[in-house]
Structure 1
Amino acid sequence: MMTRRSQPPYPPELRERAVRMVAEISDDYESLWAAMNAVAEKLGVGTGETVRKWVRQAETDAGTRPGTTTEESEELRRLRRENAELKRANDILKAASAFFAAEIDRPHRRW
């Protein structure tokens, strides 16, 4: 099970801005990593690693890098939730079915 962060995630606008900034300033730095660290510092983002993940995800979403897109991840998350809900409903129906089957098999008294 994944753990929740104590602070809310960065807004999508900030992520998009960071990705654009890296693309715009990467030529001004000795490496892409240095540009990512500079953007993280300028925007007050935790670390360059955070910005690196955003850049990689943006590349995946654009189809220039292999991997699971944001849309696919959201769909997978939705389907997993739906699957868990259906399993719970199925368990309830199985228990109810067993209960009513036992009631039918039980001899009834006539008054």
Structure 2
Amino acid sequence: MNQKYEPELKKEVIRLYLEEGRTVKSLTDEYNLGNGTLRYWLKHTHKECDEQTEETDAELQRLRKQNAELRKENDFLKKAAAFFAKEID
């Protein structure tokens, strides 16, 4: 039987499983879910998290590289400012 569930219900049941440590059996019984429904949701949730983690890691790597370049530029500008300050005196 292919039944549609509200996204809010999915989120709440997954939250109860992940954060409160409820068992699949207790949640399936309490929310009257079909066999394997919660396991299917959890499987897809893990895949989505893995994809987001990969994207986040790539963005983090890009930002670290950009940060290093900006630090080098900032250090150069500090040295240049010190040099020109000496020239003025």
Q: TM-score range by the shorter chain?
A: 0.3 to 0.5
RCO (CA 8 Å, sep 6+): is it higher in 1 or 2? 2
Q: TM-score, normalised by structure 2?
A: 0.48
Q: TM-score, normalised by structure 1?
A: 0.39
